[in-house]
A and B are shown apart, each in its own frame.
Chain A
Amino acid sequence: QSALTQPPSVSGSPGQSVTISCTGTSSDVGSYTRVSWYQQPPGTAPKLIIYEVSNRPSGVPDRFSGSKSGNTASLTISGLQAEDEADYYCSSYTSSSTYVFGTGTKVTVL
């Protein structure tokens, strides 16, 4: 099972919007709504920020939003803030009854 493909890095100024793509195949992202996103600041454990493609857990700011089209899922951070600087990972369930993570994207706030 190959990792889902994410851009290595994205950046934006405070207040701007950035979007991170997560490209898989018809055996994972394309076939399921079981796509989630995780935020990982340096030296910390990942934290769930989006589940089932576009749902936010309680306590996650609404500037984080998710979507999916075909084999590609996306995470958008609107109104970028300094505290959003972190690594972000997508994850999907697969047709092999396993899970796969993305390659990770570093978000830099300029």
Chain B
Amino acid sequence: QVTLRESGPALVKPTQTLTLTCTFSGFSLSTSGMCVSWIRQPPGKALEWLALIDWDDDKYYSTSLKTRLTISKDTSKKQVVLTMTNMDPVDTATYYCARITHPSYSGRDDFDYWGQGTLVTVSS
């Protein structure tokens, strides 16, 4: 069964760099078509897509945040890491990782499994 779990600091200071880890099971990121994405949700607000990494190590970023984001994977550890630089209080949010499969392989393109999310607060 597919599961994902986010981990990282609950509190970061402004200007610091945030590092979040998504640890998953039930699938492999070395399998063609498999991808993992990061999505965030500020308290009381809408979901916002951040980044995606695929089985071939191709990476895609939100246009508005791409200068601050880096996504990477460790296939053997079954982990995907997201770093976000220069954190600001407006970045306070619950950060989710989710699995997505490439439509060329699955015929569909949606976030079918999600982690429970981790709340990150940015405050001095």
Interface positions of A (Cβ within 8 A of B): 1, 3, 34, 36, 38, 45-48, 51-52, 55, 57, 89, 91, 93, 96-104
Please determine whether A93 and B47 come into contact, CB atoms closer than 8 angstroms: no
What B residues does A103 contact at CB under 8 A?
A: 46
Most central of A48, A57, A99, A102 by chain B CB within 10 Å = A99
Name the residue of chain B whose CB is nearest to the CB of A99: B49
Please determine whether B63 and A104 come into contact, CB atoms closer than 8 angstroms: no
Task: Give the complex CA separation of A30 and B26 in angstroms.
Answer: 34
Please determine whether B108 and A55 come into contact, CB atoms closer than 8 angstroms: yes
Q: Does B122 have its Cβ within 8 Å of any Cβ on chain A?
A: no
Task: Give the complex CA separation of A52 and B110 in angstroms.
Answer: 8
**Which residue of B52, B62, B96, B110 contacts A1 across the interface (Cβ within 8 Å)?**
B62
Q: Does B55 have its Cβ within 8 Å of any Cβ on chain A?
A: no
Please determine whether B108 and A96 come into contact, CB atoms closer than 8 angstroms: no
Please determine whether A98 and B46 come into contact, CB atoms closer than 8 angstroms: no
Given contacts A34-B103, A89-B46, A104-B47, contact A97 B60 (CB under 8 A): yes
- Chain B, residues 46-77, CB within 8 Å of chain A (1/0): the string is 11110010000000111110000000000000
Given contacts A89-B47, A102-B46, contact A47 B114 (CB under 8 A): yes
